Amino acid sequence: MCAEHYLEVKNLKKHFPVKTNFFGQTLSWLKAVDGVDFHLNRGETMGLVGESGCGKSTLGRLIINLLTPTEGGVYFENQNIYDLRGSEQKRLRRKMQIIFQDPYGSLNPRMNIGDIIAEPLYIHGLAQGMGAKKRVRQLLDYVGLSSYHASRYPHEFSGGQRQRVGIARALAVNPELIVCDEPVSALDVSIQSQVLNLLEDLQNELGLTYLFIAHGLNVVKHVSDRVGVMYLGKIMEITDSQELYGNPLHPYTRALLSAIPIPDPGLRRQRIILKGDVMSPIDPPKGCRFCARCPDAFDLCRDREPELVEYSVGHHVACHKVRRDAAG
Amino acid sequence: MQAQTNIDNLESQAAHEAHDGLEIEQLKPGQEAWRRLKKDKLAVAGGCILIAVVLVSVLAPIISTHNPNTVVNSNRLLPMGTPGHILGTDHLGRDMLTRLLYGGRISVAIGFTAVGIAMFFGITIGLLAGYYKGFFDTLVMRFIDILMAFPYVLLAIAIIAALGPGLLNAMIAISIVGIPYYARIVRGTVLSLREQEYIEAQKALGASDLRILFKHILPNSLSPIIVAATLDVGWMIIAASGMSFLGLGAQPPTAEWGVMLSDGKDFLRAAPHISLLPGMAIFIVVLSLNLLGDGLRDALDPRLKQ
C-alpha cells in the first residue's frame, strides 16, 4: 500500500448490534462492512457493486463520515478522517459530499429548491444574500435546471429533476470527492443516462473524484475507471474496469456479469445461475462468505476466509480457487 | 449500448421534464393545507366562533356596561332578558354578561398560555430525546411514562396541592400535565425524520445539530403538533375551569367560568342561568376548538393529499 493515494480505506469495519440481552450486552452483530481495503486515485471514478444488503451503502456513509466505524480507518490525503474534530471536520465536509439514492427522500419537503441549494453555502459561510442567490443560479445552471426553479418546492419536480437538485446541493461546497450512492437506481432508464452523463460532464469540468455505488454492473460499466465487487461486507474482486469486464476472475463477478441482460434475443450465452440466497450478514460463519453459493467451492473455502491477493497489476481477488489455479 | 441509445432521447425527455414542472400549480405545503381547511365548513365555523370569542374577550372592558365585581344587592338573581342586564344577574347582583366576557379573557388566556408552556417544554424534550436517543431518551421518556400513568385531573390536583391553590398555580399544573403529550408526539416524529436522507444530507454538509433540529426537523414535525395543540387548548380550558370549580384555580370573586359555574350550583332551581351560561360558554369555545382541530388534522394529514 503506497502512501500517496488520494483516499485510502484500511481494514474498515462496521458492525451493528442486532440482539442485546437484558444487561445491554450484545449477543449478535450484523457485520455490514467487515474489513474492507481499497484506495481511490484523484480524478477517477471507482464503481462499487454488489447485491442489496451487501454493505455498499454503509461503506459509502462510512467514507464520508456519516457513520463511525467499528474498526479501521479512512485516510483522506493521508489523514484519518475519524480523527478530525470541530473545524477540521467541517473543512473535510466541504471536500467530500454525497448524492443519495432516493430523490424523493433526500430533499426537505418544506424548503424550496433555492433554499435547499443555499443551505451548504450558509453552513460554511461561503456566500450570503445576493451572492448566495447568484451561486444558486450558477449551480442550477450546472445541473441543467433553470433559475426560475429556485422558488419551486421538491414535490413539483420529477425524480430526475430532484436528483439534479441533489447534485447541485452537493456541488455547492466545491467538493473534490463525491460518493454517489446509487444515484440512478430510482430513476427511469431514459433519465438514468441523462444523470450519468451529467455526472460525467461535471467530472470533466470540475475534476471530481467519484465513488459510484450501484447494484448492477451495467450502470457501473458506463462510468467507472475501476470497479470493486462487494459481497456481504467484503470486497471480492477489485480491478480496472476493462480488466473486470474482459477477464473476471472471481466466480461471483462472473455470475454478476452473466446476469447483465443483452438486448439481442438471438444470442445464446452461458448464464451462471447462483443457487440459494445471500447468506445473512448476522454472525457469518468462518470460511469464504460466498462458498455456499459458489459453483467452484471446495473444502478450503468452507474452512478459511480467502484474502485479497493481487494477481496482475491492480487486479485483486479474494478467492481460494483463483489462487490455486494461479499456483498451477 | 443501451445507455447510448437512450442519450438520443435526452433532448425530448428534458423538454418533457420542464413541461411537467410548469404544469403543477405552485403551492407551498402550507398553502395547500390552507386551501383544504377553507373547504371544511365545520372547521371554518369553529375558527370563526373562536375568533369571535377571542375578540369579544379582548374587548370586554369596552363592550361591557358594568363592572364584573360590583355587588348590587337590590339586583340579585335577575332572570335573563331583564332590561339593563340582558343575561340577568347572579346571586350577588353582578351582571352576568359582563362576567361572562371577563371570564372569557381568563379562560382563553389560560388555555393558550398553558398550551404554549406545555408545547415549549414538550417540544424541547421530544426533539432532544428523539434526536439524541440513548440514555437521555430512556431516562426522560420513562419519566414521561410515569407522568402519563397518572389520571390527568388527579395529577393536576396533586400538583396544585403541592403549589397551593390559585389561578397561576392551576395554569402551571395543567401545563405540566400537558407536557408528556407533546413530548411523545414530537419524539415519535423526530425518530422517523432523523432517518430521512435529507437530514443525512445536512449532516454530510456539516450542519450543526441545532441547525438540523430547528431548521429541518422541527418544521417537518409541526403539523401533528399544531393539530394536537388546537385540540388541547379546549382540554386545557376545561381543566382550568374544572380546577376553579373545585376551588383550586381562580378564586372568587374573580369572574372566571369555572368559578361562576361553582357559584351558580347553589341556585340551580331558582336561577339556572347562573350555571348554565358559563357552562354554555365553555361548551361553545371547546366545541369550536375541536371542530377547528379536526379540520386542521384533515387538512394537514398527508395521507389525504390528492
Residue A213 — pLDDT band, cuts 50, 70, 90? Answer: very high
Mean pLDDT of B208-225: 90
**What pLDDT, on a 0 to 100 scale, did the predictor assign at position A302?**
87
CB A168 within 8 A of CB A143: yes
CB A24 within 8 A of CB A273: no
Question: Of the candidates B198, B204, B205, which has its C-beta nearest A105's C-beta?
Answer: B198
Q: Where are the alpha helices (DSSP H) in chain B?
A: 2-7, 10-23, 29-39, 41-58, 60-63, 96-132, 134-149, 152-163, 167-193, 197-204, 209-211, 218-245, 257-264, 273-300
Yes or no, beta carbons of B18 and A146 under 8 Å apart: yes
CATH T-level assignment (fold) for domain A7-261+280-327: Rossmann fold (3.40.50)
**What pLDDT, on a 0 to 100 scale, did the predictor assign at position B184?**
92
| DSSP 8-class letter at B85 | B
**What pLDDT, on a 0 to 100 scale, did the predictor assign at position B17?**
43
Yes or no, beta carbons of A197 and B10 under 8 Å apart: yes
**Most A CBs within 10 Å, among B5, B17, B20, B138, to test the A interface:** B17
Whether A234 shows a pLDDT value over 60: the answer reads: yes
Mean pLDDT of A98-112: 88
B239-278 pLDDT, tens digit each: 999 999 898 988 888 888 988 988 888 888 888 888 999 9
Q: Say which CATH superfamily domain B29-64+102-304 falls into.
A: MetI-like (1.10.3720.10)
Whether B299 shows a pLDDT value over 90: the answer reads: no
Distance of CA B40 to the CA centre of its chain: 19
Residue A324 — pLDDT band, cuts 50, 70, 90? Answer: confident
Mean pLDDT of A228-247: 91
Low-confidence winner among B30-39, B126-135, B150-159, B218-227 (lowest mean pLDDT): B30-39
Q: Which residues of B touch A105 (CB under 8 A)?
A: 196-198
What is the identity of the amino acid at A179?
V
What is the identity of the amino acid at B278?
P
Find, in chain A, the residue whose alpha carbon is nearest to that of B26.
Answer: A152
Q: Which residues of A touch B14 (CB under 8 A)?
A: 144, 194
Whether A263 shows a pLDDT value over 80: the answer reads: no
**What pLDDT, on a 0 to 100 scale, did the predictor assign at position A287?**
85
A294-315 pLDDT, tens digit each: 888 888 888 888 988 888 888 9
Cell 483516499 belongs to residue: A7
CB B274 within 8 A of CB B260: yes
Mean pLDDT of B118-127: 95
The interface pTM score, or ipTM, of the predicted complex is 0.84
Residue B10 — pLDDT band, cuts 50, 70, 90? Answer: very low
Q: Does A53 touch chain B (CB under 8 A)?
A: no
Nearest CA among A192, A211, A185, A217 for reference residue A50: A217
Yes or no, beta carbons of A109 and B202 under 8 Å apart: no
Q: Does B305 touch chain A (CB under 8 A)?
A: no
Q: Does B151 touch chain A (CB under 8 A)?
A: no
**What pLDDT, on a 0 to 100 scale, did the predictor assign at position A187?**
85
Whether B147 shows a pLDDT value over 60: the answer reads: yes
**What pLDDT, on a 0 to 100 scale, did the predictor assign at position B143?**
93
Find, in chain A, the residue whose alpha carbon is nearest to that of B219.
Answer: A110
CA distance A284 to A299: 17
**What pLDDT, on a 0 to 100 scale, did the predictor assign at position B303?**
57
Find, in chain B, the residue whose alpha carbon is nearest to that of A88.
Answer: B206
Find, in chain A, the residue whose alpha carbon is nearest to that of B135.
Answer: A24
**Most A CBs within 10 Å, among B198, B209, B213, B216, to test the A interface:** B198
Mean pLDDT of A151-166: 89
> How high does pLDDT run on average in chain B?
84
**What pLDDT, on a 0 to 100 scale, did the predictor assign at position B27?**
55
**What pLDDT, on a 0 to 100 scale, did the predictor assign at position B75?**
79
